[in-house]
Structure 1
Amino acid sequence: MEKDNNQNVVPSNTEPKDKEKTNETVPEFTPEQQDYIDRIVSGIKNENKQKLEEVTKDNSKKINDEVQKQLEERERRAKMSAEEKAADDLKKLQEQNNRLAEQLENRERIDFGRSIAEKYNIPSTMVTRLIGSTNEETEQLMKSFADDYTKAVQAGIDKRLAGTQQPQTGSTVSVDDTKKLSELSLDEQTKLYKENPSLYNQLASR
């Protein structure tokens, strides 16, 4: 019995799935457009290259300066006696302690300033700008700022109210009691009814 040669035959003309999209068109540029795009890309590359060179140069300079500084310090220390080295170390330690004490004092003044700012309803963003050399100076600066700020706000409110205030009319009406109600204008009748009902009724009865 002959075997069926057509069984399990895989078609040889199948294509990968990524080739199924054959209808997509690739945009084409005119030579002028392509030249313009190339110039833009080239400019961006040159700009980035220049920035990278500047950063690299700056970092290299900082590294070289630090290395040179350390070499000079070692050379300076090498020429010192033991007593001079000890005195130099003590001086550096004192300078470091002074810097730490100054930082601590500044932090304490800022903390104090925050508490005073809360007392006078001053925005937290203004605290560091109103810190004085002492706590007393800090409180005085913040109090003055709070007073000036309050006055400025009140002046703005007063100005706005003055611009929107309506002119007031007289609150009373003068009417001759010998007249008839019909001889009065509508506004006069309305005011008379509100302010003097008895006279209104008297004129209305005539």
Structure 2
Amino acid sequence: MRRIALVMLLPLIAPAATSAGEPPRAPAQPLEAPARPLVRPAPVAPPQPATAPIRATTIERPVPVPNGSYLRTCRAPRATASMLHAECDAGREGRWIASSLPWPKCAGADISNRNGRLVCVTPVRANWGDAVLPPGSWFDSCWGSVEQGWLKARCKTGSGEVKVLGLTIEGEGTTPTALDLARCPDGSDIANIRGQLTCVAR
């Protein structure tokens, strides 16, 4: 009976059976959760100052220069679809002045040089007003303005003389002169003839 009792108790006190030749296994350790890496917050960029929007610039292409009497006394003309640029003779002391003009506004008018400035002038007509200078060859050797239908200018005499109160004296070669524009037929040329403004039929 004692042998039978010992045989029955052996499984309870002996270690768990293992396969032949293998040592007994260690008890399993409890699994630990992996450590989470520390996540640092992303740096926040400082606010940028507001900048003005970039505007696209338009470069105008060159076009053929328009016709006009200015070509006789201006040099280096160049034009775009909206502007005319040139260097024009100021008529005194050999000065040349850079000038610009929105030439499309001169439709039907002559583009002329007025004392170094590009201007639009309309054809000569009766009852001339004060707003615009009349065109003509007088621009080549005179400079002046229109007042109450009269063209008042100072013109070169071509002789190095100046006329003052009807007397001829040596001077800068210019003389004051005036012309009633109402007496000029339509389409006539206003010319400088020896220092005097004159209407010349074409």
| TM interval, short-chain normalised | under 0.3
Larger Rg: 2
| Higher helix content, 1 or 2 | 1
Give the TM-score, by structure 2 length: 0.17
Q: Which has the higher contact order (CA 8 A, sep 6+)?
A: 2
Q: When the two structures are superposed, what TM-score results if normalisation uses the length of structure 1?
A: 0.17
